[in-house]
Structure 1
Amino acid sequence: MLEGFGQQAVIHILVNVMFLVITWWALQSFKLDLFVRDPRGPKAKVLLILLTIAIAHLVSSFFLDYLNSSLMLRYLW
Structure 2
Amino acid sequence: MTNVGAQALLSIFVHLIFFILAWWALQGVNFEKLLRRPASIRARILYLLLAIAISYPVAAFFLDYLNWSLALPQIYR
1:8 maps to which residue?
7
| TM-score, L = length of structure 1 | 0.90
1:23-55: CA deviation from partner (whole Å, max 9, x where unpaired)? 111111111113221111111111000001111
1-structure distance, mates of 2:74, 2:28: 43
Unaligned runs of 5+ in 1: none
Unaligned runs of 5+ in 2: none
Pairs within 5 Å for 1:14-29: 14-29=13-28
Pairs within 5 Å for 1:1-77: 4-77=3-76
| TM-score, L = length of structure 2 | 0.90
More helix per residue: 1 or 2? 1
Fraction of identical pairs, as percent: 41
| Alignment size in residue pairs | 75
Tell which deviates more after alignment, 32-41 or 14-23.
Answer: 32-41
1-structure distance, mates of 2:70, 2:14: 16
SS state of the match for residue 76, structure 1? helix
The structural deviation recorded for 1:59 is 0.7
Structure 1 residue runs of 4 or more that deviate by more than 6 Å after TM superposition = none
